[in-house]
């Protein structure tokens, strides 16, 4: 029975989520599988991959062939490297401790690059947010300035109208007073 390590699609339309599985090559894409090895979520940035490396190495040593995408995921998480180092241990080129030491050094280096990418994405998001806030503050200041100018004009207009009303009232009172005197 030829075994493939491949992706099974889950999730909803437009939001894929994959299981990494070892399955019979003749089964359907989303059909029966032998073992679930991990998950892959391409919707996050960077993509989230949860992989049982030892389980993947076990299947690779038993002859399972990964598909192209699964192979790149296994390579990204270090399963292919661990399989390669296990082959070196079997041949006697390395000891178990040396192989584990090399694998752990590679994992730490990979984690540092992933963390650097996450930090750069966080900094870019913070810079974009600060830029948007500055633009919003500028628009708000312009609106406030326009409102204050409009308010000053309205106050001046109200003062002019009050003067006119006062003059008219004074004139009316004077006319009444002069008509009563006569």
pTM beyond 0.75: the answer is: no
CB neighbours of 6 closer than 8 A, spacing ≥ 6? 20, 21, 23, 29, 66, 67, 69, 70
- Residue 46 CA, chain-centre distance (Å), reads 8
14-68 residue pLDDT tens: 999 999 999 999 999 889 999 999 999 999 888 899 999 999 999 999 999 999 9
Q: What integer pLDDT is reported at residue 69 of this predicted model?
A: 94
121 SS3 class? helix
78 neighbors 28 (Cβ within 8 angstroms): no
- In whole angstroms, give the CA distance from residue 37 to residue 21: 5
Residues composing the chain: 182
């Amino acid at each position: 029975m030829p075994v493939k390590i491949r992706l099974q699609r889950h999730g909803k339309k437009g939001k894929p989520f994959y299981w990494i599985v070892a399955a019979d090559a003749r089964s359907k894409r989303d059909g029966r599988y032998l073992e679930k090895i991990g998950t892959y979520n391409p919707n996050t940035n960077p993509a989230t991959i949860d992989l049982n490396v030892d389980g993947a190495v076990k299947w690779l040593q038993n002859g399972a062939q990964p598909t192209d995408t699964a192979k790149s995921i296994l390579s990204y998480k270090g399963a292919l490297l661990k399989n390669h180092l296990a082959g070196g241990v079997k041949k006697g080129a390395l000891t178990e401790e040396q192989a584990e030491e090399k694998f752990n050094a590679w994992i730490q280096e990979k984690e540092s690059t992933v963390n650097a990418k996450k930090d750069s994405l966080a900094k870019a998001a913070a810079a974009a947010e600060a830029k948007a806030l500055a633009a919003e503050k500028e628009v708000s200041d312009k609106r406030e300035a326009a409102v204050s100018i409009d308010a000053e004009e309205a106050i001046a207009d109200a003062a002019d109208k009050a003067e006119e009303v006062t003059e008219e009232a004074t004139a009316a009172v004077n006319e009444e007073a002069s008509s009563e005197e006569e």
